[in-house]
Amino acid sequence: MTKDLSVTMTSALHDPSLATLVPGRGGPVVPRAGALTPLAPGEVQLTGGFWHDLQRLNATTIIGHCLAWVDRTGWLSNFDRAAAGTIGGQHNGIEFVDSEVYKLLEAMAWEVGSSSEGELAQTFGLLVNRVAAAQESDGYLHTSFGRQGQPARFSNLEWGHELYCFGHLIQAAVARIRQGHDDLLPAVARRLADFLVVEFGEEGRLAIGGHPEIEVALVEFGRATNTQAYIDLAAVLVERRGRGLLHPIDYGQAYFQDDMPVREATTLRGHSVRALYLSAGAIDVGIERGDAELVDAVEGQYLATLARRTYVTGGMGSHHRDEAFGDDFELPHDRAYAETCAAIGSVMVSWRLLLHSGSARYGDVIERTLLNAVLASPREDGKAFFYSNTLHQRTLGTPPSEDVASPRAQSSMRAPWFDVSCCPTNVARTLASAHLYFATCSDAGIQIHQYGDFTATCSIGGEDLAVEVSTAYPYEGDITVTVTAAPDAPVELALRVPAWAEKTASWSADRPGRTTTLEDGYLRVTGKLEPGTHIVLSLPLTPRVVRPDPRIDDARGQVVIERGPLVLALESVGLPQGVDTECVDIDLNSPIESTPTGARVTLIPRTDSTPAWPYMDQGDMSPGAGGGTPILADLIPYARWANRGPSTMRVTLPVAQNP
Ligand SMILES: [Zn+2]
C-alpha cells in the first residue's frame, strides 16, 4: 500500500512551535454546551459483531481501495505537482478532488487512532507530507487554483469548491487532534484556517463558497484548538449565506442555499448535501454562540424535511438533475437520488441535535439512516459503492467495470469509483468513526443510542460508570447491558427504545431495587448500580407493515415491510423463475414470517400482459389482474441488495386487492 506514496518530508512546514495545543477529547463533534456529552475514542470501543465487522472491512479494504483509486487517478499526485510548481495544465480530475484525499486522511486518522506505528500510520504520515508540501507560504492549499497556468484563487466560488476542500482538510485535522496527535496535519490546517480568517473574515472579501462544509469544519477546529477566531469566521460565513453573494445559476440560488438567510428558511431545499452540511455548521455556530434562534431555526427546517422530504430509508434528495430536495412529498422511488453523502450529512445533523436536545428521536433517525441509507452504499466486499441510492430498480442493468471510474448516478449496481467520487471516502470516514455515535454521558449517567457489541465508559463526579453491551442487533432484538464499573452514588442508565418498539419492548434487570421507566424514547434504569448487574432490553423484531403517507403519490396503494430497524426490499434474485418484481402484489391477509435477516411474505404474481394502451376505462379489468398462484418470497435488508449480481428490486410493494 505504501509503494509509490513516499515523498521527502518538507521539514520547513513542520514547525514544532505550533505543537503546543493540548489535544482535545471527544469524537467528530464536541459542543460547548448541550444535554449530552459525546464520548472520546478511548471511551467507547466496538468489541465484535455487526459494526465491528464493518469497521474491520473499512480498515482492511475500503480505505486501501480508496487510496489505490486516488493514486491511480492522479488525484494524489496533484499535490506533488503543485509542490513542484508543475501543476498548471497538469491537474487530474475535477476541481475538487483534493477533498477525496482529505476525507481519506480523516478516515485514516480515526482508524490509526493514537498509534504511531503500523502500516496505516506510516501511510498516513507519508500522505500528510505530500499534502503539506503543496501548502503555499501564506497558508493557501489547493491543487486546482492559483498557481501558474491555473485559474486565480477564488475565481469560481460557485463551482470551484475551494472552501469545501479546505473544510475536509480541516476535519481530517480535527480527527487527528481528537486521537491525541498534534503534529503536521493540524499545523497545516491551522495555517490554512489562519489564512481564511484574514481572507474571508469581517475585514476580508465579502464572499461565501458554493458548497458549504467549511463552516462545520471551522467550528470544530475552533473547538479542538481553542481558537475563537475560527468559530467567528464560521459564524460570518453562515450569516452571509442567503444574501445573493453567489452568481445566479440555472438551478436557482436555492441550489446552494443562497436564496434566503439561514435563520429565515423553513425547510431544507436545494442540493441535499450542501443543505445538510450547512445545517450541521449552522447548528454548531448557534451552540457555540448561545444563539438559540439559529439552532431552533435549523432544527425546525430539519424536522420539516424529515416529515415531508425523506425516504423511508432516511435517504434525502429526490432530483437527479440537481441532486436536490424535491417539493414536499415529492419522493419518487424509482428516481430517488438519495445520495450517500446526503445520508451522511443527515447523520451529522441528527447527531448534533441529539447532543443538543437529548431527544431519542434523533437517535432513531441516526439508526435508520446509518443502517438503511449509509450502509446501502458499500458492496459487501468493500470494493464498490452506490453514489445515488434508488429504492426501485426496474431493469437488471449492467455491472460497471471494476477498472474504470463510473458516472456518479448512472449505474444500477455499485461501482468501484466515480468521476466525482465523494461518496466512497465519505463512507470510509463515517465507518471509521461510527462507534463514536453509540453512547454519550451526562451528569446523570450514560446514554446508549445505538446497539452493537461495545464498551463505553463515562466519568461521573470523578468516578467511572462503565458498561459492556452485547447483542446480535440489528438481526436479533435482545440487548444485554452489563455494568462493569459504577460510582457509589445513584446514576442513570438510559437505553434508547426506537419509536417502532415503544409499545412492544420489554426488559429485565437481575438485581432488584432500581427504578425503571420507559419515557421519551429511553428505558431509564435509575439507582445505585453494582458492577455485574445485567439489564436485558428486548426489542421484538416482528416484521411490520408500514404505510407511506398517501401524499407520497409514488407509493400510494403500496406498503413497506420493516423488521426492527431494517427496511426490507424485494429483490429479483431468489424469486421463482418467471416471477417479476414489477408484476407482484403482496398479500397482507397472509402471515408475514420473520427470517434470520428479513421477512417471508406471500406474493400474488400478476400476469405480465402489456396491452397496446396501458390505460383502461373504469370497470374494465386492469392488466394482469386475476393473479397467479400465490408464492412465498423472502425480503432482504434493503442495504444489502445488489450483492448477488444484476437484479431488479423494490422497497414499496403494491398491496393485493383481495375480493
Ligand atoms: Zn457523495
pLDDT at residue 427 in the model: 98
- Residues 347 and 611: beta-carbon distance below 8 Å: no
Bridge partners (DSSP) of residue 602 are 632
pLDDT of residue 613: 86
* Cβ density class 149-179: b for 16+ within 10 Å, e for less: ebeebbebbbebbbbbbbbbbbbbbbbbbbb
Alpha carbons 177 and 520: distance in angstroms, whole number: 35
Centre of ligand 1 from the C-alpha of residue 342, in Å = 7
Grid cell for residue 367: 439508526
String of DSSP letters for 35-73: SSEEPPGGGEEEEEHHHHHHHHHIIIIIHHHHHHHHHHT
CA atoms of 102 and 7, how far apart (whole Å): 17
Alpha helices per DSSP H over 20-161: 49-57, 63-72, 77-84, 98-112, 119-133
Residue by residue, DSSP assigns 353-390 as HHHHH--HHHHHHHHHHIIIIITTSB-TTSS-B-SS--
Q: 94 CA distance to ligand 1 centroid (A)?
A: 14
pLDDT reported for residue 66: 98
Distance (Å) from CA 423 to ligand 1 centroid: 4
Neighbours of 4 (CB within 10 A): 11
**Contact (CB, 8 A) for 134 and 185:** no
Q: How many Å lie between the centroid of ligand 1 and the Cα of residue 388?
A: 8
Question: How confident is the model at residue 578, as a pLDDT?
Answer: 84
Q: Say what the pTM is.
A: 0.95
* CA 387 to centroid of ligand 1, rounded, Å: 6
Place of cell 491511480: 72
Q: What pLDDT was estimated at residue 7?
A: 32
- On average, the pLDDT of the chain sits at 93
Distance 146 CA to ligand 1 centre (A): 26
The DSSP secondary-structure symbol of 563 reads: E
Residue 49, C-beta contacts closer than 8 angstroms, at least 6 positions apart: 452, 453, 470, 471, 472
Rounded to 5 degrees, what are φ and ψ at 546? -115, 130
C-alpha of residue 422 to centroid of ligand 1, in Å = 4
Q: Is 332 helix (H, G, I), strand (E, B) or coil?
A: coil
* Gap from CA of 214 to ligand 1 centroid (Å): 16
CA distance 365 to 370: 8
pLDDT digits (tens, 9 = 90+) for 15-73: 333 333 444 467 899 999 999 999 999 999 999 999 999 999 999 999 999 999 999 99
Which residue, among 530, 453, 434, 547, has the nearest Cα to 491 in the 3D structure? 530
Dist. CA 106–CA 36, nearest whole Å: 24
Contact predicate 464/485, CB 8 Å: yes
Q: How far is the CA of 358 from the centre of ligand 1 (A)?
A: 29
How many angstroms does the Cα of residue 340 sit away from the middle of ligand 1?
A: 5
- In sign, the C-alpha dihedral spanning 49, 50, 51, 54 is positive
pLDDT of residue 17: 37
Q: Which residues of the chain have pLDDT under 50?
A: 1-24, 623, 659
